[in-house]
Structure 1
Amino acid sequence: MAFQRSVEATPLSSHTYSVSLDAEWCIGSVPNGGYVTSTIISAVNKHFATTLARLGQPDTMSMQLQFLRRTHAGAGVVTVADVKLGSGISVVHATLSQDGRDEVQGYVTHMNFSKEAGLSIPTEPHCGLLPAPKPIDFSAIDASGRDAHWHTQREAAITKFRKGMQHLVFVKPNVVQDAGFAGFADQWVRFRPGGQGSPTVPFVQEAIGYVVDMFPLAFRESPHMSQEEKMAPRWYPTVLLNLDIKRRIPDGTEWLYVRATTVEVHNGRFDIQVVVLDQAGSLIALSNHVTLVLGAERNLAARKKPSEAGKL
């Protein structure tokens, strides 16, 4: 499958794994942060399937990633350090490096979901989201691209600069939320790892990293912005990404629902809270991001040498 190939991690030693970031998953010249997250998930999964196979902990439960510098399409190495190995839950530290510099670092927690036991308290339908998601007729969307509440986004929205978006089909609300609910945005997505023109396929677990970073923008542009400011191409690089995975994506899942909420955009920095549900309304994952708003030229600028300081 195209996605497994694009995030494949090959062991170099017991704690290092080679990866190759695919240009087809880039925003401008920078691989999408969610795709990078999925690649790190793949590398850590490989670590738990090989070096730490004795633990029997195949599932990523949570991760916290700091994006230190821009990544780029091409070869990289993920180095995994065993921090805390336990019978139920284990924690490792993962570092993605390219060209001799560390670009992403973070902690990843693993366990075995099939052996998880303890207190469970049922939540409200759709996890109590307010306002509740509008109902959707998947058969109508498949047949005509539209139902009473949702429509398939036009492919024209996926530009050359944002080609990393091409691996999802986005279904958006027909009516933008009321002004009183400004600050959140909804979408349904289908997985298309082969890009535009390729068929959709069921989601795989590693794709959750990509899904949580392909969020709909949850804020509206200020009426005080000039037309030039509104039209200027923007880049939204991830600074920090936290991911809490509640359960595996059920086999055969064709659709995932995503709600993104933003509390404030301030001085070119904004927060994002992401909720991902499956078709039955079960919670798959929660994610929190710290993200910047930058001009697209920052994305395309020449990269600094490894010896030079700088985050982006």
Structure 2
Amino acid sequence: MDSPFDNKIFQEATLVKALSSHTYEAYFHKNWCIYSVPHGGYVTACFLQVAATHFNTTLAAQNQPHTTALHVDFLRRTEVGPALFTVKDTKIGRQASVIHIALTQNGREETLAVITNSNMHTETGATYPTTYRLNPEPIAVSFDQLSRNEDKNWRRQDNMPYKQFRKALENMEFYFPRDGQKSRTCADQWVRLRRGEKWTNHSLGFLSDAWPISVEALRHTENPYDITPEAAANRKTDSKDIGTMWYPTLLLNIDFKKTLPAKGVEWLFVRAESKQIKNGRLDVEVTIKDASGDLVAVSHHVTFAVGLERNLAKRGGGGGEAKI
């Protein structure tokens, strides 16, 4: 593919080109990176785009256009530039099919994905309501007021921590509870993409990995995600450890519960919660709902908390091979 420049919107930044019936190429852009490494959710979204293209072309006869489950293992750091995706049709079935996709750059196998597709529009079978509810339940929201940053319960977070290093997250608008989060290990947010783009099923890969980091909320005396007036007035701006940590995803799973409209939606709700942070490793459970309160997706992560030098080290240099 051509080598486009930066500042691409999401749709442009996740374009894939078919090289053959089972190989595809994408280009990872700088403005979708965390420090020097392409954002894990952005890479996941590219995997979803490859799967969508594959099931709409090579496997079109299956009539299984919707990804229902995804698992991604991040073996090594990806990098800005061309990326090759190689697909293996592992199990082609009547109700669902499974493919394996390997991502390579410069001859290195960096990321592996297992993706299951079916057709959500034709699914039938046992259906029973459950008593599941988010606890605590999300506070009320008015989307008309939210779009003007005038909602009485939610306020835009204009300065995400360390945004100069986290270019990928600058492509989103985050709205947090005005009265602060209920817990430093559980964060609620309403989010939308900047520049008029809408959330689609393939951009859920990005959203599933874009949330306040509980490590930062705990390691600072002043919670960098606290947007209450008192916190904003007292917050210091000269923290000595700004940008010293990196939180690479080791593995990521997504269970897709519904299809979003083809034209996408403006707003989605996300709750991210960590149950344990220990020895540089943490879990994250992510719940995504739409404006009507329907469950859209559930995601689980295993994530590292490591020094920034692991992100910035040259491949084959003092930081070792391109491993996380």
What is the TM-score normalised by the length of structure 2? 0.86
1:190 to 179, 182, 192: 192
Question: Do 1:232 and 1:295's aligned partners in 2 also have CA atoms closer than 8 Å?
Answer: no
Classify the secondary structure of the residue corresponding to 1:113.
coil
Aligned equivalents of 2:253 and 2:68: distance in 1?
Answer: 11
Aligned equivalents of 2:86 and 2:274: distance in 1?
Answer: 33
Which residues of 2 match residues 112-151 of structure 1 at below 5 A? 112-124=119-131, 127-143=132-148, 145-151=149-155
2:266 to 245, 254, 262: 254
Aligned position for 1:201: 197
1:151-208 deviations in whole A, cap 9, x for unaligned?
0011464622111101111001112234xx452111110012xxxxxx3332122100
Question: Do 2:68 and 2:255's aligned partners in 1 also have CA atoms closer than 8 Å?
Answer: yes
Q: Which segment drifts farther, 149-158 or 248-257? A: 149-158
Question: Do 2:315 and 2:322's aligned partners in 1 also have CA atoms closer than 8 Å?
Answer: no
Classify the secondary structure of the residue corresponding to 1:115.
coil
Question: Do 1:191 and 1:203's aligned partners in 2 also have CA atoms closer than 8 Å?
Answer: yes
- Mark the CA change 1:31 to 1:165 in structure 2 (over 3 Å): closer, same or farther: same
Q: How many Å apart are 1:229 and its aligned residue? A: 7.6
Q: Is 1:93–2:90 an aligned residue pair? A: no
Greater helix percent: which structure? 1
Write the letter of the residue equivalent to 2:268: L
1:54-106 deviations in whole A, cap 9, x for unaligned?
11111111111100000001001000001100011000101110000100002
Classify the secondary structure of the residue corresponding to 1:210.
helix
Write the letter of the residue equivalent to 2:197: V
Aligned equivalents of 1:91 and 1:161: distance in 2?
Answer: 36
Q: Which runs of 5+ in 2 are unaligned?
A: 1-7, 223-237
Classify the secondary structure of the residue corresponding to 2:147.
helix
Question: Do 1:137 and 1:147's aligned partners in 2 also have CA atoms closer than 8 Å?
Answer: yes
Which residues of 2 match residues 155-234 of structure 1 at below 5 A? 155=159, 157=161, 159-178=163-182, 181-192=183-194, 199-218=195-214, 220-222=217-219, 231=242, 233-234=244-245
Q: How many Å apart are 1:140 and its aligned residue? A: 1.6
Aligned equivalents of 1:304 and 1:285: distance in 2?
Answer: 38
- Mark the CA change 1:93 to 1:230 in structure 2 (over 3 Å): closer, same or farther: same
Question: Do 1:184 and 1:260's aligned partners in 2 also have CA atoms closer than 8 Å?
Answer: yes
1:4 to 1, 11, 14: 11
Q: Is 1:51–2:63 an aligned residue pair? A: no
Write the letter of the residue equivalent to 1:173: P
Aligned equivalents of 1:16 and 1:223: distance in 2?
Answer: 45
- Mark the CA change 1:300 to 1:230 in structure 2 (over 3 Å): closer, same or farther: closer
Write the letter of the residue equivalent to 1:88: Q
1:264 to 263, 266, 276: 276
What is the TM-score normalised by the length of structure 1? 0.89
- Mark the CA change 1:298 to 1:119 in structure 2 (over 3 Å): closer, same or farther: same
Cα root mean square deviation, aligned: 2.2
Which residues of 2 match residues 263-302 of structure 1 at below 5 A? 263-302=275-314
Aligned equivalents of 2:188 and 2:28: distance in 1?
Answer: 28
What is the count of residue pairs matched by the alignment?
Answer: 298
Question: Do 1:146 and 1:152's aligned partners in 2 also have CA atoms closer than 8 Å?
Answer: no
Aligned position for 1:73: 80
Classify the secondary structure of the residue corresponding to 2:213.
coil
- Mark the CA change 1:157 to 1:309 in structure 2 (over 3 Å): closer, same or farther: closer
1:270-295 deviations in whole A, cap 9, x for unaligned?
00000000000001100000001122
Q: Which runs of 5+ in 1 are unaligned?
A: 193-198
